[in-house]
Amino acid sequence: MAAQALPLLRWSRSASSLCVRSSPAASRRLFPALRRPAAARCEAGSKVLLKEMDYPELEEKGFRPGQAMMLWKCLYGNNVWAHSHDELAGLNKDFRKMITDHANLKALTVKDILAASDGTRKILFSLEDGPVIETVIIPCDRSRTTICVSSQVGCAMNCQFCFTGRMGLRKHLSTAEIVEQAVFARRLFSDEFGSITNVVFMGMGEPLHNIDNVLKAAAIMVDEQGLHFSPRKVTVSTSGLVPQLKRFLHESKCALAVSLNATTDEVRNWIMPINRNMDDAKRLIELVQGIPCKINLISFNPHSGSQFKPTPDEKIIEFRNVLAQAGLVAFVRLSRGDDQMAACGQLGEPGEYQLPLLRVPEKFQVAL
């Protein structure tokens, strides 16, 4: 279950005037490697990854406002989503050469794309240092297509219902590696599905465990001159890291979803699906009393790394009806892409090393 809080903040930034001119001095400020001798630069092979920067950083690194805005729109706006230097249309020739020589535009490589029977797509991306992450594209009949992005390779939370959690934490994704998932989604699927309208940070990893890069990536996604997702349609989900949660609410204008999975600390210490009675529904009503939110009910999606089984549909409907009768806004979210292991809780490939399953408390063994 996820209780989704409404976004608290709003902000915007207007476009700068356009004026294109480059200089060696600007190159050195943007690309510190240029200050080193040519042999050292060649040996290090160092290039700046542009998608690691937000718009203010492009300006601070030496670009004039017009240059920064034109490059920003090539990366994220104007339906360009540039991945190669040939796609940097409209830039001054010298400025484009500087970018070509000293910057990379691409953070991920597509390894494979799997198509589920319901139209869902799962993209497997290879990272530069070897690991693979998974991103899910979920088309909908109501002019809405959602991308589910990953924020880590694996996850340290070890939630007992989640396949990704079996991996343990392998790596935090960088800002560029997170943003690039949305860029690829628009490049690959805008023609087929129409506009990619929604983003959910519900893929591999606990987003708030990687809060610095998630905050920055989310800000790039909602930038009005760039990818321009609506802040209300970018949702970051968390298992409940409280200090980071407070920071997110203070610094981000995007939506927040809290994954409850249970309504008592006893059960949250050893996660179990709701499959026997309505006591959790009644406690949930008390927990969210007075909090403006909507509640998403998500069934467990089976995989080889868990002991759980999905809750019967009739039980989920009964649970939803109890919440609705109390005046709460509650939705049953249908699983998508489960035949390609693309549904919620099914992403990743644990391999030989896996985190241990937690001991089942005696009082809950009957539920299994």
Q: What is the pLDDT along the chain (368 residues), one digit of tens a residue?
A: 444 333 222 222 223 222 333 444 545 555 554 343 333 333 335 788 999 999 999 888 777 778 889 999 999 988 889 998 888 888 888 888 888 899 999 999 999 999 999 999 999 999 999 999 999 999 987 788 999 999 999 998 888 788 888 888 999 999 999 999 999 999 999 999 999 999 999 999 999 999 999 999 999 999 999 899 999 999 999 988 888 999 999 999 999 998 876 676 666 555 533 334 777 888 888 888 888 888 888 888 877 767 777 788 888 888 888 898 888 888 888 888 777 877 787 677 777 777 777 776 666 665 55
Of the residues 155, 162, 254, 344, which is catalytic? 344
Q: Which long-range contacts (CB under 8 A, 24 or more apart) does 157-160 make?
A: 157/206, 157/209, 157/239, 158/355, 158/358, 159/239, 159/261, 159/271, 159/345, 160/270, 160/271, 160/306, 160/307, 160/308, 160/357, 160/358
Q: What are phi and psi of 169, to 5 degrees?
A: -85, 125
The reply to whether 344 belongs to the active site is: yes
Tell me the C-alpha distance between 182 and 171, whole Å: 19
Of the residues 52, 74, 134, 148, which is catalytic? 134
- Would you give the distance in Å from CA 365 to the centre of its chain? 34
Tell me the C-alpha distance between 63 and 67, whole Å: 6
pLDDT at 296: 86
- Would you give the distance in Å from CA 279 to the centre of its chain? 33
Which whole-number Å values give the CA distances from 166 to 171, 210, 356, in the listed order?
14, 18, 7
pLDDT at 262: 66
Helix axes 175-193, 211-222, angle to 10 degrees: 40
pLDDT at 25: 52
Contacts of 341 (CB under 8 A, 6+ apart): 122, 163, 303, 347
pLDDT at 1: 41
Contacts of 24 (CB under 8 A, 6+ apart): none
Q: What is the DSSP secondary structure assignment for residue 3, as one 8-state letter?
A: E
Q: Which amino acid is at 25?
A: A
Q: Is 99 helix (H, G, I), strand (E, B) or coil?
A: helix
pLDDT at 93: 84
The reply to whether 162 belongs to the active site is: no
